């Protein structure tokens, strides 16, 4: 694969993750809004790191960024999604397939994108 096409892969991963994140952002905001204003703000505060990751995916999908910024961003994305993946897998019950699959994909794509961005001169 040539260098130019490898350089765009993290942006493609970020775009795919941003679209998936849109589904979760709308779903969770809607669930919070059903409980009234206080439930909406409480759920927004609880999921704030996820919204930050989602905004980061959007930004990375459309912008070139410095390699150090990309490394920190992808690391945060992996940590956040990996935490939720670990948490749901460590639960003693049967994990729900949709969130489990989502967190596995988000963690994996973040790790792969980080590897590609790490080898870029400017991501």
What range does the domain containing 12 cover?
Answer: 3-118
> Looking at the domain assignment, is residue 111 inside a domain?
yes
Residue 19 above 80 pLDDT? yes
> Looking at the domain assignment, is residue 107 inside a domain?
yes
Domains of the chain: total: 1
Q: Which residues touch 68 (CB under 8 Å, ≥6 apart)?
A: none
Query: Mean pLDDT throughout 1-30?
Result: 84
The H-assigned helical ranges of the chain are 3-34, 37-46, 48-62, 67-90, 97-118
pLDDT tens-digit map of 69-115: 999 999 999 999 999 999 999 987 788 899 999 999 999 999 999 99
pLDDT given at position 94: 81
pLDDT given at position 2: 47
**pTM of model > 0.75:** yes
For residue 73, CA distances in Å to 9, 43, 45, 59, 78 come to 16, 23, 20, 11, 9
Mean pLDDT over each residue of the chain, to the nearest integer? 86
> Looking at the domain assignment, is residue 123 inside a domain?
no
């Amino acid at each position: 694969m040539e260098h130019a096409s490898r350089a765009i892969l993290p942006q493609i991963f970020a775009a795919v993750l941003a679209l998936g994140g849109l589904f979760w952002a709308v779903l969770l905001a809607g669930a919070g809004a059903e409980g009234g204003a206080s439930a909406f703000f409480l759920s927004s505060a609880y999921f704030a790191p996820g919204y930050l990751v989602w905004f980061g995916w959007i930004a990375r999908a459309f912008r070139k960024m410095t390699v150090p910024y990309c490394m920190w961003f992808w690391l945060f994305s992996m940590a956040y999604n990996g935490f939720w993946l670990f948490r749901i897998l460590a639960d003693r019950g049967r994990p729900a397939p949709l969130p489990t699959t989502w967190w596995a994909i988000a963690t994996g794509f973040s790790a792969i994108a980080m590897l590609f961005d790490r080898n870029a001169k400017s991501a």
